């Protein structure tokens, strides 16, 4: 049997490694539009912050050799012919498959794609982006940057460049940073703390409307509020869209069942896959590594053994990289809120029907694992949630186990 | 495979395990060097809960939530000993592991293993090097009250231990007289303090 993967990202690497570990001996071809060994996008900002490039290859730089893979790199797949079981690349190369693993991830979404033609404007999604930014910053001795977009990746970008010593202005449309993973109060608290701890200049409720160039070189950006900021470096990270065109003809993602099958011969996983939320049952794209990993493992298991079923994705996330100030959240911020704050630490849990519907833990990771498991296991916690989040020694769990109250 | 179990009723909260761990993990392997060194790494923490106390560290779960969540390739399992290991050189301090560890066994700071001058995640490594030489983990060797036991865990307990701490806290079995006395005194002391508060 011959397996082809579209993508060499986190899901594809996990999938291929699993296949080999589970004893799959057939031919494996991995296709990517980039030219690298599998790398972890979660880690690449550290390369910009000054750490060695080598550490991005999370499963080893010799991955293709070690797992006996034929790589087909730097050549995007443009079409999957499901009837003939063929993938076709931009360079016109065909590859036939018995089983396809479609994990092409997502790409940055740009409000004005033509901006990228200007020297000094970059996305912040791939290792190709990081290498280009790194070279540009070193060669031009860049001291200032504007980051447009204050979601998870935008904040990651701002913090990595801040670590490198750049002066950063972060422009975000919403009333707070990380607006998808925080509620209004938690987000404002986290935004104020991030600003105070880093000195990053955060501009909320505005957007970058125009760029000012000179001979193809970025000079300044203009905000919606009329302000002009001189800068030779603009990072655009305001959103992503799934790379699903080659398979579906649109960018709405690839629908999958619980075996991660999109089609009888095609598995999918990761940031391109539409899956069910483990708690709410809602269909959506849950673009974090733990989901991609779990989905890839289920697909590999199903391919080799014909069994296995995906239990659903979870929208947990944490921002802590580059800064000792974690922001953890999951679920929906709806229901009855319980809040506790002491100094730098802020916690809020939303209950519905006595169970955790969503939560935010800011400033500290303690109890986050405990709350995560309470959330997933759908335990009723209405009697003691107040004590759990306000216990300064965060030992409620152990009190319960020992029967000491 | 062997794991560290805790008979919490025998724990005297003397913290000998914490010191032994600090020495074992310190590059100089000396208590004098570990004391007052802000990079000293202590992978076990004695938790005091009223009159009860017990040392808490990584359970080396199987499957391990932390291992499944780490996007940097920093967490792996030693196939021979079953220990869940964390490689500080690959850790990006992203906290994905801490976000899902049910036992709060992962902490962050600048340790002697940090390579790039920033904090990294750290946790118990089951003294993987020691146990491969046939020794016991340092904390177990240091514990003189018998509260820490390095023992083979049967498959059933192993499966339960993933999700529940109760199976890891063995409970009372032949508590020595002096420990029983100590517990009694501690209980009374806590009761006295509680009454005093009211
Ligand atoms: C800067 C940054 C920081 C992040 N931090 C975190 C974090 O801390 N925690 C977390 O959980 N998640 C984080 N993420 C998200 C995480 O990286 C993704 O969820 C994960 O990589 C998804 O895996 P994937 O395989 O679906 O996609 P990817 O890893 O993005 O891989 C997609 C692959 O498809 C290839 N590809 C794309 N189009 C084509 C095509 N047409 N033909 C062939 N190949 C193609 C790409 O080259 C790549 O190899 C971060 C992402 C970024 C960008
Ligand atoms: S106790 Fe926590 S850190 Fe240890 S293996 Fe389990 S999940 Fe990982
Ligand atoms: S903090 Fe380190 S060990 Fe934990 S998940 Fe992140 S990279 Fe892995």
Assigned domain for B156 exists: no
Q: CB B98 to CB A40 under 8 A?
A: no
Q: How do strand A240-242 and strand A106-108 relate by DSSP bridges?
A: antiparallel
Of ligand 3's listed atoms, the one at least distance from the Cα of B86 is: 3
Please choose from B70, B86, B104, B109 the residue to mutate so as to test ligand 3's pocket, defined by most ligand atoms within 8 A of CB. Answer: B70
- Please give the model's pTM, rounded to 2 decimal places: 0.94
Rounded distance between C-alpha atoms, residue A317 and residue A329, angstroms: 6
Does residue A320 belong to the interface with chain B, where contact is any CB pair within 8 Å?
yes
Q: CB B169 to CB A401 under 8 A?
A: yes
Does residue A46 belong to the interface with chain B, where contact is any CB pair within 8 Å?
yes
In order, the DSSP letters of B107-162 are EEE--TT-SSSS-EEE---TTHHHHHTTPPPHHHHH-SSS-EEEEE--HHHHHHHH
Assigned domain for B189 exists: no
In short, whether B182's Cβ falls inside 6 Å of ligand 2 is no
- Which helix (H) or strand (E) segment holds residue A189: the answer is helix A184-198
Give the three-class secondary structure for A99: strand
Peptide bond into A405 cis (omega under 30): no
**Which chain B residues are within 8 Å of A368, Cβ to Cβ?**
98-100
Assigned domain for B176 exists: no
CA distance B96 to chain A (A): 6
Residue B173 has pLDDT above 70, yes or no: no
pLDDT score, position B183: 81
Q: CB A367 to CB B104 under 8 A?
A: yes
Taking CA–CA distances from A329, the nearest residue in chain B reads: B99
Q: CB A402 to CB B8 under 8 A?
A: yes
| Ligand in closest contact with the CA of B89 | 3
Query: Whose Cα sits closest to atom 8 in ligand 2?
Result: B66
Assigned domain for B87 exists: yes
**Which chain A residues are within 8 Å of B47, Cβ to Cβ?**
393, 395, 398
pLDDT score, position B197: 63
- Average pLDDT of chain B, as a whole number: 89
Count contacts between A and B (CB, < 8 Å). Answer: 105
In short, whether B76's Cβ falls inside 6 Å of ligand 2 is no
Taking CA–CA distances from B89, the nearest residue in chain A reads: A55
Assigned domain for B123 exists: yes
| Ligand in closest contact with the CA of B118 | 3
Q: A329 alpha carbon to ligand 3 midpoint, in Å? A: 17
Complex prediction ipTM: 0.94
CA distance A96 to chain B (A): 31
**Which chain A residues are within 8 Å of B98, Cβ to Cβ?**
318, 326, 365, 368-369
Query: The domain containing residue B62 runs over which residues?
Result: 2-150
Q: A287 alpha carbon to ligand 1 midpoint, in Å? A: 8
How many helical (H) and strand (E) elements, i.e. helices and strands, does chain B have? 8, 8
Assigned domain for B44 exists: yes
Query: Shortest CA distance to A118 belongs to which of A216, A231, A206, A237?
Result: A216
> How buried is A94 (Cβ within 10 angstroms: 0-12 exposed, 13-18 middle, 19+ buried)?
exposed
Choice among A333-337, A346-350, B121-125, B182-186 with the minimum mean pLDDT? B182-186
Q: A328 alpha carbon to ligand 3 midpoint, in Å? A: 14
Q: CB B98 to CB A59 under 8 A?
A: no
Give chain B's domain count: 1
In order, the DSSP letters of A9-77 are SHHHHHHHHHHHHTT--SEEEEE-SS-SS---TTTTHHHHTT--GGGG-TT-TTHHHHTT-EEE-S--E
Rounded distance between C-alpha atoms, residue A26 and residue B45, angstroms: 48
CATH number at residue B23: 3.30.70.20
| Ligand in closest contact with the CA of B66 | 2
Angle at A106 between CA A104 and CA A108, to 5 degrees: 140
Does residue A325 belong to the interface with chain B, where contact is any CB pair within 8 Å?
no
Taking CA–CA distances from B108, the nearest residue in chain A reads: A324
pLDDT score, position B166: 65
Place B52 in a pLDDT band, splitting at 50, 70 and 90: confident
pLDDT score, position B189: 84
Which residues, listed in sequence order, are joined to residue A89 by a DSSP beta bridge?
Answer: A77
Cα dihedral A223, A229, A230, A231, rounded to 10, equals -70
Give the three-class secondary structure for A190: helix
Q: A269 alpha carbon to ligand 2 midpoint, in Å? A: 25
Q: B57 alpha carbon to ligand 2 midpoint, in Å? A: 8
pLDDT digits (tens), chain A, 405 positions: 999 999 999 999 999 999 999 999 999 999 999 999 999 999 999 999 999 999 999 999 999 999 999 999 999 999 999 999 999 999 999 999 999 999 999 999 999 999 999 999 999 999 999 999 999 999 999 999 999 999 999 999 999 999 999 999 999 999 999 999 999 999 999 999 999 999 999 999 999 999 999 999 999 999 999 999 999 999 999 999 999 999 999 999 999 999 999 999 999 999 999 999 999 999 999 999 999 999 999 999 999 999 999 999 999 999 999 999 999 999 999 999 999 999 999 999 999 999 999 999 999 999 999 999 999 999 999 998 998 999 877 777 777 777 775
The answer to whether residues A148 and A202 touch, using CB atoms and an 8 Å cutoff, is no
Residue B47 has its nearest CB partner, among A326, A373, A395, at A395
What does the pLDDT average to over B150-158? 69
Assigned domain for B186 exists: no
Q: CB B106 to CB A58 under 8 A?
A: no
**Which chain B residues are within 8 Å of A366, Cβ to Cβ?**
104
Q: How many CA atoms lie within 13 A of A81 on its CB side?
A: 11
In short, whether B58's Cβ falls inside 6 Å of ligand 2 is yes
Taking CA–CA distances from A316, the nearest residue in chain B reads: B99
Assigned domain for B99 exists: yes
């Amino acid at each position: 049997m011959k397996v082809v993967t579209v993508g060499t990202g986190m899901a594809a690497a996990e999938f291929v490694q699993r296949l080999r570990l589970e004893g799959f001996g057939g031919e494996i071809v991995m296709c990517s539009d980039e030219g690298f060994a599998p790398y972890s996008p979660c880690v690449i900002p550290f390369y910009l912050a000054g750490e060695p490039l080598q550490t991005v290859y999370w499963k080893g730089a010799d991955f293709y050799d070690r797992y006996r893979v034929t790589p087909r790199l730097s050549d995007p797949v443009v079409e999957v012919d499901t009837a003939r079981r063929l993938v076709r690349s931009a360079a016109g190369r065909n590859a036939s498959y018995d089983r396809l693993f479609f994990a092409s991830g997502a790409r940055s979404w740009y409000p004005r794609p033509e901006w990228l033609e200007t020297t000094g404007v970059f996305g912040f999604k791939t290792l190709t982006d990081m290498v280009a930014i790194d070279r540009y910053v070193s060669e031009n001795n860049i001291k200032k940057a504007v980051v447009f977009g204050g979601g998870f990746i935008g904040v990651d970008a701002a913090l990595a460049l801040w670590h490198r010593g750049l002066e950063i202005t972060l422009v975000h449309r919403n009333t707070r940073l990380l607006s998808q993973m925080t509620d209004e109060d938690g987000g404002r608290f986290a935004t104020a703390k991030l600003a105070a701890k880093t000195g990053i200049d955060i501009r909320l409720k505005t957007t970058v409307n125009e760029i000012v160039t000179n001979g193809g070189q970025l000079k300044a950006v203009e905000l919606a509020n009329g302000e002009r900021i001189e800068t030779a470096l603009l990072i655009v990270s305001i959103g992503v869209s799934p790379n699903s065109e080659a398979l579906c003809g649109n960018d709405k993602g690839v629908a999958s069942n619980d075996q991660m099958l999109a089609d009888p011969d095609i598995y999918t996983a990761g940031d391109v896959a539409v899956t069910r939320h483990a708690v709410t049952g809602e269909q959506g794209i849950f673009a974090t590594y733990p989901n991609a990993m779990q989905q890839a493992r289920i697909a590999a298991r199903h391919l080799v053994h014909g069994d296995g079923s995906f239990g659903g994705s979870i929208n947990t996330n944490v921002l802590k990289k580059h800064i000792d100030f974690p922001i953890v959240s999951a679920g929906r911020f709806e229901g009855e809120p319980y809040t506790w704050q002491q100094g730098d630490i802020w916690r809020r849990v939303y209950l519905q029907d006595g169970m955790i519907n969503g939560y935010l833990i800011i400033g500290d990771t303690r109890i986050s694992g405990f709350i995560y498991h309470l959330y997933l296991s759908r335990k009723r916690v209405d009697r003691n949630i107040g004590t759990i989040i306000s216990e300064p020694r965060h030992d409620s769990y152990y009190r319960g186990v020992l029967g000491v109250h | 495979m062997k794991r560290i179990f805790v008979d919490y009723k025998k724990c005297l909260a003397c913290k000998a395990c914490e010191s032994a761990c600090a020495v074992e993990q310190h590059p100089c392997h000396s208590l004098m060097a570990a004391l007052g060194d802000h990079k000293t790494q202590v992978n076990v923490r004695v938790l005091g809960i009223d009159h009860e106390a017990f040392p808490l560290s990584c359970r080396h779960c199987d499957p391990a939530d932390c291992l499944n969540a780490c996007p940097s390739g920093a967490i792996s399992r030693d196939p021979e000993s079953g220990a869940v290991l964390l490689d500080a050189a690959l850790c990006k301090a992203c906290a994905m592991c801490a976000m899902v560890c049910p036992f709060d066994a992962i902490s962050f700071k600048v340790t002697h293993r940090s390579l790039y001058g920033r904090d990294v995640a750290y946790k118990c490594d089951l003294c993987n090097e020691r146990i491969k030489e046939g020794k016991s983990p340092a904390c177990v060797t240091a514990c003189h009250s018998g509260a820490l036991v390095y023992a083979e865990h049967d498959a059933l307990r192993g499966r339960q231990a993933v999700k529940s701490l109760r199976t890891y806290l063995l409970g009372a079995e032949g508590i020595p007289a002096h420990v029983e006395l100590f517990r009694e005194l501690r209980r009374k002391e806590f009761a006295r303090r509680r009454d005093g508060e009211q």
